Amino acid sequence: MSSLSSASSTPRVITGRTVLICFISFFGVVFAMNFVMVRVALSTFSGVETESSYKAGLSFKNDIAAAHAQDALHWNVEARLQHGAESRIALSARDAQQAPLSGLTTEIRLAHPTDKRRDVPVQFVETAPGHFESLTVLPEGQWDLVISLKRDKEILFRSKSRISL
pLDDT tens sequence for the chain (165 residues)? 455 555 567 888 889 999 999 999 999 999 999 999 999 888 877 666 677 788 888 888 888 988 998 898 989 899 898 877 788 889 999 988 999 988 888 899 999 888 778 899 999 888 889 899 988 888 888 999 999 999 888 888 999 999 888
Write the DSSP string, 64-114.
HHHHHHHHHHT-EEEEEEE-SSS-EEEEEEE-TTSPBP-S-EEEEEEE-SS
Stated pTM of the model: 0.65
